[in-house]
Amino acid sequence: MKMRLLSRKATCNTHGQDSSYFLGWQEYEKNPYDEVLNPKGIIQMGLAENQLSFDFLESWLAKNPDVAAFKRDGKSIFPELALFQDYHGLPAFKKALVDFMAEIRGNKVTFDPNHIVLTAGATSANETLMFCLAEPGEAFLLPTPYYPGFDRDLKWRPGVEIVPIQCTSSNNFQITEAALQQAYQEAEKRNLRVKGVLVTNPSNPLGTTMSRNELNLLIDFISDKDMHLISDEIYSGTVFSSPGFVSVMEILNENNSLKDQVWDRVHVVYSLSKDLGLPGFRVGAIYSNNDTVIDAARKMSSFGVVSSQTQYLLSAMLSDKKFTRNYITQNQKRLKRRQRMLISGLQKAGISCLESNAGLFCWVDMRHLLQSNTFEAEMELWKKIVYDVRLNISPGSSCHCTEPGWFRVCFANMSEQTLELAMKRLKAFVVELTANGCSQSRTEFSSWNSKRKSLPKWVFRLSSRDREQEEP
């Protein structure tokens, strides 16, 4: 088909899929591990899914068959749910969702169901907010390292530019005033108008919660610069160790003087994809006290509505307070146990990670395994781990980390047995690599070169591509 017959959006290359983050997924799908059918396949450790508590959800469904069968008081409501529903969302579900959000936050904050907009996941929520808050070519500041999908969600259709707030391991990647100001000045040098800051709290990929000092710093910053703050709190229910989770809404409620200034410029994104482990249900939300933003986002939500059947089922589940209370507690215990398993396995392989208290992953330090302190060396190490060790993990460069050698490793999307196998593979690899003095043997080069023919051409530009995306 002639390219001139297609739109610029269809033919542009700004989706971000040529990142090593997405390439790892593609390679896993070509050779997925299966205990019986493909025991030598690639183990997926690059996907932040929570599969640890499905038994609680399935048990609830078994005890509430009428809900799963779309019945109310024993009578079918299927026709009611199957017909057109206002894209404002079912009132019962919005009420149940905001109550669940408050419960996760220890009921220290409350949410008004009239100020929530339902979206098809957090991906849709973040993109919708970009359309509401910024024009194409304007910028948002994001602390590094950040979720690689933001390059797609913020930039591809909305056309928003991302300017990194450069955070480093020297202070465990916390946001500083100097880093904020430097990012803002960098945007000015590039003649970009900065419309706001976007953070994930708890952090993806760090697995850490933001401190009160960081949150207060951000509130002061957006107040001074007259801009917006988006707090993506999709992992808020996964916090399993101290310090606990502090929502930006809690900070606002504690500071009445600043609250009046920025109340309508702070927006929260949430989803049930991580806390309940339901990414396939596509349930996300925007919460904002800005009536104009809510009105605009609600109009846009018609392009990605949550089905009435999904809303009905989840409204009943989330309204069961005995269930939600038990689920939140037990899910956090399981996450903590699984995280400790990963850390223990890494330690046996001589690998450490950033101290974390939340999320479905660890931020793993493999700097000592690099041949040199470069992103090219990071990419070579990542290739060996994917193709020779057969573990799909995400390199730090795909998350725009400023330091080579960090990797995001997920732990909640597999069984304990699979995680143990992954750690055995990794330990064996490190032992061999260390014995070789971190040099690549002819055999390893041959193994990698044999795979080159089957890979997309852009694979071999990855180290420079990922690095270029983080530099102005």
Q: Which of 116, 234, 294, 385 is catalytic?
A: 234
Amino acid at site 316: A
Helix (H) or strand (E) holding 72: strand 71-72
Cα 236 to Cα 275: distance, rounded to the nearest angstrom:
7
Helix (H) or strand (E) holding 472: none
232 is an active site residue? yes
Beta bridge partners of 288: 267
* Cβ atoms of 284 and 118 closer than 8 Å: yes
The length of the chain is 472
Backbone dihedral angles phi then psi of residue 253, each to the nearest 5 degrees: -65, -25
Q: Which of 195, 274, 383, 427 is catalytic?
A: 274
312 is an active site residue? no
User: How, if at all, do strands 75-76 and 43-44 pair?
Assistant: unpaired
287 is an active site residue? no
Burial (CB count <10 Å: 0-12, 13-18, 19+), residue 320:
middle
Q: Which of 232, 365, 388, 466 is catalytic?
A: 232
* Cβ atoms of 77 and 296 closer than 8 Å: no
CA distances from 250 to 180, 263, 330 (A): 22, 12, 24
Q: Which of 28, 146, 147, 312 is catalytic?
A: 147
* Cβ atoms of 140 and 231 closer than 8 Å: no
* Cβ atoms of 265 and 122 closer than 8 Å: no
Cα 401 to Cα 215: distance, rounded to the nearest angstrom:
21
Helical spans, DSSP H, in 190-320:
212-225, 248-254, 256-262, 291-300, 308-318
DSSP letters along 373-402, please? SSHHHHHHHHHHIIIII-EE-EEGGGGT-S
Other C-beta atoms lying within 10 Å of the C-beta of residue 298: 19
327 is an active site residue? no
User: Any idea which residues carry the catalytic annotation?
Assistant: 147, 232, 234, 274
